[in-house]
Amino acid sequence: MENTPILTNPNASPAAVKLYNFLWSMKGKGILSGQQEFPMDHNHGEELRYIKEVTGKEPAILGLDYISSDFKGVNERAAAWYKKGGIVSICWHWGIPPYGQGYPSSKESVNLPELLTPGTELHQGFLNNLDQAAEALKELRDQGIPVLWRPYHEFDGNWFWWGKGGSTAFILLWRTMYDRFVKMHGLDNLIWVLGYAGEKGEGYYPGDEYVDIMGVDCYSEGVHEDLYNWVLTQTNKQMPLCHHENGPIPEPGLLQEKGIDWGWFLTWHTIHIHQQNSRSYLNYVYNHPYVINLEDLPKL
């Protein structure tokens, strides 16, 4: 197996390379803490304030979402977090192309064969949506901000439009975005994170030249050793693995004991941070020596 931290984009920015090298350097040494913001919170940062109040700490990673085309707001918060020394992760609850908006729309259906056929009106609408997101990501690129970019998440489930067409359609969706963002738009600041749903969907892997990090979403309790071992089987290429959406936070001492090397966890917002993790447990996690928080990060 290759054991060298090389991003799929040969022209990756120095900041993206530095972040990727850091993630590799931490393999087996600790798990980065992460928190997803609630996008409908117009004040934003409620989860961060709560974690700081309960634990005295702040997460290493802030999860953001381009949901409802909130490109401007997400970019502002991403820039502020990076300036503070944190790591930025962005997903996209993409409403059905070309005009869908918000979470309900992302769970609707679209004619994927037509969407993936060049020359159709729907295909052009799909490309227009991609270009809109690319322009937003360029703003972060031009500020020197690397992004853990996690598009089309939970693709092996059948609840989002991008996962409803099966593995062949998904691979084409992923590769089309990758090629357009990297080769056409010159987005050199992205680290491409492939986010499985925990359904153990076989055959969805887009290829080693398109993926920098793999991970799994899972909202049940536990350290999810089975999912960790399963995702390892999806390629022979070595890369960091992450637990990129969770409710209950995996117990860091048990992760360390079992050698389950999730690179980070990312707790979802609202009930997942407030109700699925007690205040005492949250304090335990964020003050555990195996957990890497904002204050522990080097200058990235």
In a domain, 258, yes or no: yes
Q: Which residues of 124-160 are buried (b: 16+ CB within 10 A; e: fewer)?
A: ebbbebbeebbebbbebbeeebbbbbbbbbbbbebeb
pLDDT at 4: 67
In tens, the pLDDT along 213-230 reads 999 999 999 999 999 999
In a domain, 47, yes or no: yes
Q: What own/partner pairs with CB < 8 Å and gap ≥ 24 does 70-75 have? A: 70/39, 71/132, 71/133, 71/135, 71/136, 72/136, 73/44, 74/136, 75/136, 75/139, 75/140
Report the pLDDT averaged over residues 30-56: 95
Calculate the average pLDDT of the chain.
96
**167, 194 in Cβ contact below 8 A?**
no
**276, 36 in Cβ contact below 8 A?**
no
For a pLDDT cut of 70, what percent of the chain falls above it? 99
- The pTM of the full predicted model, rounded to 2 decimals, is 0.97
- Computed from CA positions of residues 251, 253, 259, 265, in that sequence, does the dihedral angle turn out positive or negative? positive
Residue 156 has pLDDT above 70, yes or no: yes
**73, 80 in Cβ contact below 8 A?**
no
For a pLDDT cut of 90, what percent of the chain falls above it? 96
Residue 1 has pLDDT above 80, yes or no: no
pLDDT tier for residue 287 given thresholds of 50, 70 and 90: very high
Strand partners, 155: none
Residue 158 has pLDDT above 50, yes or no: yes
In tens, the pLDDT along 80-91 reads 999 999 999 999
Report the pLDDT averaged over residues 173-190: 98
In a domain, 7, yes or no: no
In a domain, 100, yes or no: yes
Count structural domains, the chain. Answer: 1
Query: Other CB atoms closer than 10 Å to residue 29's CB: what's the count?
Result: 10
Question: In which domain, by residue range, is 288 found?
Answer: 14-296
pLDDT at 232: 95
Higher-confidence residue of 243 and 43: namely 243
In a domain, 223, yes or no: yes
Comparing CA positions, the residue from 189, 185, 242, 140 lying closest to residue 7 is 189
Polymer length of the chain: 300
Q: Which residues of 264-276 are buried (b: 16+ CB within 10 A; e: fewer)?
A: bbbbbbeebbeeb
pLDDT at 56: 98
Q: What is the CATH number of the domain that holds 269?
A: 3.20.20.80
In a domain, 8, yes or no: no
pLDDT at 3: 59
In a domain, 275, yes or no: yes
Residue 42 has pLDDT above 90, yes or no: no
In a domain, 6, yes or no: no
- Cβ-proximal residues to 56 (8 Å cutoff; 6+ apart), any chain: 286, 287
In tens, the pLDDT along 250-269 reads 999 999 999 999 999 999 99
pLDDT at 180: 98
Residue 139 has pLDDT above 50, yes or no: yes
CA contacts within 13 A on the Cβ side of 21:
10
pLDDT at 2: 45
Look-up: residue for tokens 């984009």? 9
pLDDT at 5: 82
